Amino acid sequence: MSNHIVVLTGAGISAESGIPTFRDSGGLWEDHDIESVATPEGWARNPERVLKFYNARRRQLKTVTPNAAHQALVELESRYRVDVITQNVDDLHERAGSTNVMHLHGELTKVRSERFPDLVYSCHEDINMGDQCEKGHQLRPHVVWFGEDVPMLEPAAQLTEVADIILVIGSSMQVYPAAGLVSFAREDASVFYVDQFPTLNYELQKLRNLTIVNDRATVGVPQVVSQLLS
C-alpha cells in the first residue's frame, strides 16, 4: 500500500492566500533589486534596508490565512504519512494544521544570529538594527539568500527518494536546487504536478508516472486529495 506522501510546494500555493509571488508582476519584490535584499552582499551593504524589507513581509503575513489547498493537504494525514517540503518562507502550512513541514529556504517567523547561524529565534515582530543574539551579534532574517547554501536540501532529498507519492504544487520548477528534488523520486512513485502554468523541466520529463493537473492550487489540490483519499 502507498502510505508515504511527500508534498513539494512553491509560491503558487501561497499566492492564492494573497502573498505576492517572487518577482511577479505587481509582486512584493517588484520595487526591490533582488541583489539588495536577498543576497549576503546586500546585507553587508545595507542591513537596515534588508531588515525593513523582511519586516514588511512579516507584517503582511499576519493579514493572510491558509487557503483550500493548504487545508486539503492536512486531510491527507488521516490516511497517509505526509511530509511537506516547501520553498515558501511563510507559515501557512503550519497554520492550516500540517504537522511535518520542512522549509528549504528558511522561515519568515524566525531570525538568527548573523555570526552564529545555529542561534535561531522565533520572531513575529519587526527586527531592527541593534537587536542582537545572546552572543552580542546582530539578528538577521532566517532566510536562505541567493548564494547561500540550502542546509535542508539533503534531508529533503532523503525524504523524496523514499516517497510512494509526490505532489508538486504551485512551483515553476525553475528555481534550483529545489526544482531538482523530483529527480530523487523512486521509479515507481506516482507524481502529481498541480500548477496553473506547469513547466516540464528536465527532471519532470524523465518521470514515468506523472499526472499534470493544469489548474490553480485551490482547485487542483482538493481534487487530487479527494482522489487519493478515495
pLDDT in tens, 31-84: 677 788 999 999 999 999 999 999 999 999 999 999 999 999 999 999 999 999
Give dist(CA 120, CA 142) in Å, integer: 7
Residue 27: band (very low, low, confident or very high) from pLDDT cuts 50, 70, 90: very low
Tell me whether the omega of the peptide bond preceding residue 198 falls within 30 degrees of 0, making it cis.
Answer: no
Q: Write out the catalytic residue numbers.
A: 105
| Domains recognised in the chain with CATH numbers | 1-19+66-105+149-230 (3.40.50.1220), 24-63+107-143 (3.30.1600.10)
Q: Is residue 57 within 8 Å of 141, Cβ to Cβ?
A: no
pTM over 0.85: yes
Per-residue cell: 3: 502510505
Tell me the pLDDT tens digit for each residue of 72-118. Answer: 999 999 999 999 999 999 999 999 999 999 999 999 999 999 999 99
Q: Residue 174, SS3? A: coil
**E strands in the chain:** 4-9, 81-86, 101-103, 106-113, 120-122, 139-143, 165-169, 190-194, 210-213
| Angle between helix 68-75 and helix 217-229 axes, rounded to 10 deg | 10
Return the higher-pLDDT residue of 28 and 70: 70
SS3 content of the chain, % helix, strand, coil (to 5): 35, 20, 45
* Interstrand relation of 210-213 and 120-122 (parallel, antiparallel or unpaired): unpaired
